[in-house]
Structure formats: C-alpha cells, structure tokens
Amino acid sequence: MSIAASSESPALEILPGGVGGPFDFRSLFGNDGPAELEIGVGKGRFLLGQAAARPEVNFLGIEWSLKYLRVAKERAQRQGLTNVRLFRADARHVLATLLPDRSVVRVHVYCPDPWPKKRHRKRRMFTPAAVNHIERVLVPGGYLDLSTDVRDYFDEIRELVPGASGLREAEDPLFPIESSGGRTSYEAKYLQAGRPIHRTTYVRPAEPPGRRQGISTMMSPDSIRTR
C-alpha cells in the first residue's frame, strides 16, 4: 500500500485517492502494533477515547460523512493522538478490497444505519459478503463487537452472522455486553431517550497450532487491556 504524501505529521486522514493498494498497517502507523477497526466513527467519541486509553493499539476509523470525519479529525489533533487514522470511504469496499487477511484484532460496528425502508435494505452494513470479509480480516481469536437500537435488525444480524461465517457468539473481556453507558454518541443519545441498545459480540475461533500462519508477532486480543 502507498499513501499519498501530506504535509501533516502524522497524517491522521487518509486522503481520497491516496490508497494505492491493500493497507500495510506498519507503513500506515509506523509501527507493528495491533490494529482495530471502527466502521462508522461518527464524531469519534468511541474511537478517540480508546486511542487515548490504549496508545499501544492502532485505530483505523471509517466514516462516510465528511462533516463527521472532519470533527473526529479535529478532535484527534487537539488531543495529540498519533495512533489514529481516519478514512472517508464505503466500509463494504474497505472490507472487500483494502484490508488484508488476519490484519485486525477487533472490528467495532455500533448503531449502523438500519435503512428501515424495505427497498433500501440492500444498503445495510451487515450482508453475507460483509460478514464473510469481517471474518477474513480478523485474526484468529479476534472479536466483532456490534450494537443497534433496532430490534429487528439485531435479530437479522444474529441469524445472519453464524450462517454466513465461522464467527461465534462470545464475550469480549474488554467490552462486556452489559453496560449502562453508551460507547458512541448515538448510543448515549438513544439510552438517554429510553431506547434500548442491543449488543452482541462474535469471535473468530482460534485455529489449531498446526494451522497458525503469519500471526506469530500479533498481540492476542485478550492481552490488550484498558489502562
């Protein structure tokens, strides 16, 4: 992967047209630390909070709204965060073409657009293809943490994920399901309004020792804790 040159150091935003191939996280972040992906960062409440709490982890945030991406970028700059990269792109394209196999330890998807109208359902984030790619990009033992305030979408996801992949429901020790607070601005707003948040976590099962390839230097997700 090549990234277009920028006068900003570090370049927090991956500029349009600046990606010349699949992401090379070492080149992108300048280190070999583990990487986590958030799809739909909004104004950055969750991503930036985690980046500040866990500086040893690299965070890639995908956001389609240019307005929200700019807000998240400005906040990251004010906080002096160097372990964050932001990219305005269609998350489905990023998953399918820009993320290498076994490249991230966590994928976070919180309150994705439910596209409630039936004719728009095909635009939803969770499709068999997207779920298959999420499994592919997770390291064995890596987690998919997700939430939605829409019950029928939640039920659809829970039926879809195990049928389209080898991901299995699990508990992420870093992000327990039961939480009274919101992780993102949307979650906090919905909880304050009395709307329930439905959460679940999936794990990509660890592989037998004889099948582990190319991840000997990758930090286990279970070893990454908040400070």
What would the pLDDT profile of 14-57 be if each residue is shown by its tens digit?
987 778 789 999 999 999 999 999 999 999 999 999 999 999 99
- Please report which confidence band the pLDDT of residue 211 belongs to, taking 50, 70 and 90 as the band edges: low
pTM of the model: 0.86
Q: Please give the Cα distance from 220 to 43 (Å, whole number).
A: 28
**Over 50: is that where the pLDDT of 224 sits?**
no
pLDDT above 50 for 4: no
**Which residue do the tokens 């004010």 mark?**
78
Give 210's pLDDT tier (boundaries 50, 70, 90): low
Q: Which percentage of the chain shows pLDDT scores above 90?
A: 68
Q: Which helix (H) or strand (E) holds 29?
A: helix 25-29
Q: 101-132 burial string, b = 16+ CB within 10 Å, else e?
A: ebbbbbbbbbbbebeeeeeeeeebbbeeebbe
Q: What is the pLDDT of residues 148-174, one digit of tens each?
A: 999 999 999 999 999 999 999 999 999
Residues known to be catalytic: 113
DSSP reduced 3-state for 192: helix
Which own/partner contact pairs does 50-53 have at CB distance under 8 Å and 24+ positions apart?
50/226, 51/76, 51/81, 51/83, 51/84, 52/79, 52/81, 53/226, 53/227
pLDDT for the residue numbered 5: 37
Q: Which of 62-71, 111-120, 206-215 has the highest mean pLDDT?
A: 62-71
Given this model, what pLDDT does residue 6 score? 41
225 pLDDT band (50/70/90 cuts)? very low
Could you tell me the two tokens for 108? Answer: 């976070």
181: CB partners within 8 A, 6+ apart: 187, 188, 191
What local confidence, expressed as pLDDT, does residue 124 receive?
87
Report the C-alpha gap between 168 and 160 in whole angstroms: 11
Residue with tokens 């304050």: 192
d(CA 85, CA 10): 9
